[in-house]
Structure 1
Amino acid sequence: SLQASGWFGGASAGPGVGYDYATQGVACCEVEVDCLSGEVAMRRADLLMDQGTPLNPEIDLGQVEGGFVMALGLFFTETIEHSPTGSNKTIGTWEYKIPAVHDIPLELNITFLPRAPNPAPNATLHSKACAEPPMALAVSAFLAARSAILAARAEVEGAPRMLLLNAPLTPAAVQAACLVDPQHLVME
Structure 2
Amino acid sequence: MDDQVKAALRKWPNVPACRGWLGLDARGDWYMRDAAVQVAGAFPQAKGSRIQHDKLIAFIWRNYEADAQGAWFFQNGPQRVYVELEAAPWVWRLQARADGTVQALAPLGEDVAISEAWLDEAGRLFLLSPRGLGLVHSLDMLIAADALEQGQWPAPGTLTFAALRARFGYQLHPIPA
Scaled to the shorter chain, the TM-score interval is under 0.3
* TM-score normalised per structure 1: 0.22
Higher normalized contact order (CA 8 Å, seq sep 6+, divided by chain length): 1
* TM-score normalised per structure 2: 0.23
Q: Looking at secondary structure, tell me which structure has more strand per residue.
A: 2
| Larger Rg, first or second structure (1 or 2) | 1
